[in-house]
Structure 1
Amino acid sequence: MIANRIKLTCLALVLILSGCSSPQSQWTQPPMAVPFQPTIQQQIQLARIDQLLKRDDLDNQTLAQVYYERGLLHDSLGLRDLARLDFNQSLSLKPDQPDVFNILGVYFTQGAHFDAAYEAFDSTLELNVRHPFAQRNRGIALYYGGRYELAFDDLNAHYQHNINDPYRVIWLYIVELEQDSETATEKLRNRYDAAIDHQDWGWQIVRLYLNDVSESEFLRQIATESEDNDVLAERLTEAYFYLGKRYHSNKDFSSALMLYKLTLSANVYEFVEHRFALLELNRLMTEVSLSQPVEPPAPPAQEEV
């Protein structure tokens, strides 16, 4: 009953949006989900791990695993400083953990420490060349670091492993917009057509970028097709982030600013889109400050004689 009520409320907001005439007014009443909250299971698991760490009969390998699991819990709750401490402690006990290097690389990217991020992802791939996310994450870090050719190489290789994954297509498109914006959309269309399976919801984001679906219809579908609040929160997190990227690339900074804030609103901490929304906000603020004209200093006042 509660989930249906939430869905109906969001649908009503989407209907309001569809009547708006400009992007600036469109985000005054956006569809929202109830933000994720710590679950009782997460809290119980965290308490159990804290109790476990008080024991003095655990070997280093077991301790490393326990710190890693607590780090993942802290990360899922948005406690990233605590998570980083746990991951570093885990690495000090067992240095050959590709998954730990991978998530630390993501943290370095979020903090715009790109050289450290590259090294972390390189370490991940040295330990596990088939790691499912490190090459993508390194490509994203290279993109944010402004190294677009290297970012394309990583993200294109990642895409080739699964051409039916819409998010691989999306990130490749985002990088190609920086390389050649005139051909990026044509290449996006070609990759969309090359995919055999379009069932994943993420393809709807690709359709949005291709202008095959309007923004109002895109949001309407999220509201009507999300089974519960969890799905709604996750899809809106993705939707607002990639809409923000679209407005950002079109230099509509005020709309992009609102959308990045909306990306953060549902507390879906583990999603890539939530992880990089703050980084995007910082980049946007820098762009805005650089785009403001610098007023020349006022001439010195003439002294009266």
Structure 2
Amino acid sequence: MNRRKQMAWLGWVSVLLVLSGCSSTQGSKQVSGGEDVPLATLAVPQQISYQSELALAKLGQMLSSPDLNPDQRAELFYERGVMFDRVGLRTMARIDFSRALRERPDFAEAYNFIGVYLTQQQSFDEAYEAFDSALELAPDYDYAYLNRGIALYYGKRPAMAVQDLSEFYRRRPEDPYRVLWLYMAERNVNADRALQDLQRRYKQHAGNEWGWNIVGVVAGEQAESDFFQMVAQQSESNKELAERLCEAYFYLGKVYLAQGQVKRAASYFKLSMASNIYDFIEYRYAMLELGLLDPSLEKADDDEVM
């Protein structure tokens, strides 16, 4: 482990100890200022699986075949890019998505992934162009609306972000994550009305899907401490727990950031990333949020890529 990664790991461990009191059980403790902070619910960080490594090796072998036509090569580059993305190798993934586009310039899904990476590095104008290309090629591609809306959100174009995220929500209003992203965009336009709309959508659409529990906490309909206790008790595997915590800590970090509790928000973003669920949208933007709070973290990450 190099020194930078070692220091980053030690920093995350410090956050975990502060929030958990050296314990992974649910509870609460008093901190300075009398704020009641729930102890962190933790999962073992996910590791790259044997199956993922094997899939990457097989895709590499298939790509070495001289008998592939351009469409076949494009599909294989795309599939390997998705696999690289899943294990956190974003530079390798981006290279493969670019190769897929060279083989097949009308590959909407590859444009979408390229746009996500451009958003993460805050190259917003280029990201918009990538998502525009995806939607020109596939007007019904839901997730291009989501990802362009997120790019507009981070690019400080809140009204346009609301338009895209409203379209994304309209296509499946029973999806809790569509409700959450629309709320975050609307909050930058009118915070009070956004909360009212979030509470209305929660009461109107909430179902059994796991993500509605997060919406309930964000909307003030469920206590955070009860929520984390439920997560710990109801997750059926460590992987499921890690995935749920990756999501929950990100959205709650956004809540605390909006309230001006920057240190707590940063701690929650770090906890989201500690899951190692690399391909979750919450993991991706937890890193961006930390970079916005501390630009030196983003520069260190860029240096590592170089």
Fold in common (TM above 0.5):
yes
Which amino acid in 2 is paired with 1:203?
A: W
Within the candidate set 221, 233, 237, 1:228 is matched to 237
Q: Secondary structure at the match of 1:13?
A: coil
1:15 Cα deviation from its structure 2 partner: 2.7
Which residue number in structure 1 is paired with residue 109 of structure 2? 99
Q: Give yes or no for contact 2:253–2:264 (8 Å, CA) kept in 1.
A: yes
Matched residue, 1:251: 260
Q: Given residue 204 of structure 2, which amino acid in structure 1 is its aligned partner?
A: A
- Which residue is equivalent to 1:84? 94
Separation of aligned partners in 2, 1:253 and 1:130: 38
Measured in 1, the distance between the counterparts of 2:223 and 2:203 equals 19
Indicate conservation of the 8 Å contact 1:114/1:142, yes or no.
yes
Q: CA deviation at 1:192?
A: 1.4
| Matching residue of 1:66 | 76
1:45 maps onto 2:55 in alignment: yes
- 1:112 matched to 2:147? The reply is no
Confirm whether residue 179 of structure 1 aligns to residue 207 of structure 2. no
Which of 164, 167, 171 aligns to 1:157? It is: 167
- Counterpart CA distance in 2 for 1:21 and 1:209 is 22
Q: Alignment partner for residue 237 of structure 1, among 216, 221, 246?
A: 246
Higher relative contact order, structure no. (Cα contacts within 8 Å, ≥ 6 residues apart): 1
CA offset digits 1:223-263 (Å, max 9, x no partner)? 00111111101100001001110111111111011111111
User: Which residue identity lines up with residue 173 of structure 1 in the other structure?
Assistant: Y
Partner of 1:300: none
> CA contact under 8 A between 1:140 and 1:151: conserved in structure 2?
yes
Cα contact 2:29–2:36 (8 A) shared by 1: no
- The residue that corresponds to 1:132 in the other structure is 142
SS of 2:249's equivalent in the other structure is helix
Which residue number corresponds to residue 276 of structure 1? 285
| Distance apart, 1:279 and its partner CA | 0.7
Q: CA deviation at 1:54?
A: 2.2
| Alignment RMSD (CA, Å) | 1.8
Amino acid at match of 1:118: Y
Contact 2:26-2:40 within 8 A present in 1 as well: no
Q: Distance in 1 between matches of 2:214 and 2:81?
A: 31
Q: Which amino acid aligns with 1:230?
A: K
Give the Cα–Cα distance (whole angstroms) in 1 for the partners of residues 275 and 223 of structure 2.
Answer: 23
Following superposition, the deviation at residue 19 of structure 1 comes to: 4.2
State the Cα distance separating 1:269 from its structure 2 match. Answer: 0.8
User: What fraction of aligned residue pairs are identical, expressed as a percent?
Assistant: 42
Q: What residue is the counterpart of 1:290 in the other structure?
A: none
Give the C-alpha shift of residue 285 in structure 1: 2.6
**Alignment-mate amino acid for residue 121 of structure 1:** F
Separation (CA, whole Å) in 1 of partners of 2:98 and 2:289: 26
Instruction: Please state whether the residue corresponding to 1:224 is helix, strand or coil.
Output: helix
Q: TM-score, normalised by structure 2?
A: 0.85
Deviation at 1:62, TM superposition (A): 1.2
Deviation of 1:21 (Å): 5.5
Q: Aligned partner of 1:212: which letter?
A: E
Residues 26 and 228 in structure 2, CA contact (< 8 A), matched pair in contact too: no
Could you tell me how far 1:25 is from its partner in structure 2?
Answer: 7.5
Cα distance in 1 between the residues matched to 2:61 and 2:284: 29
> What does 1:11-30 align with in structure 2 at a 5 Å threshold?
13-16=24-27, 18-20=28-30, 26=37, 30=40
Counterpart for residue 206 of structure 1: 215
Give the number of aligned pairs: 273
Structure 1 spans left out of the alignment, 5+ residues: 1-8, 287-305
Measured in 2, the distance between the counterparts of 1:202 and 1:21 equals 29
Q: Relative to structure 1, is the Cα distance of residues 61 and 213 closer, same or farther in structure 2, using a 3 angstrom cutoff?
A: same
DSSP-derived class of the 2:188 partner? helix
State how far apart, in whole Å, the 2-side matches of 1:203 and 1:132 are: 20
Structure 2: gaps (5+ residues) = 1-19, 296-306
**Is the partner of 1:133 in helix, strand or coil?**
helix
* Correspondence for 1:296: none
Residue identity in the other structure for 2:210: W
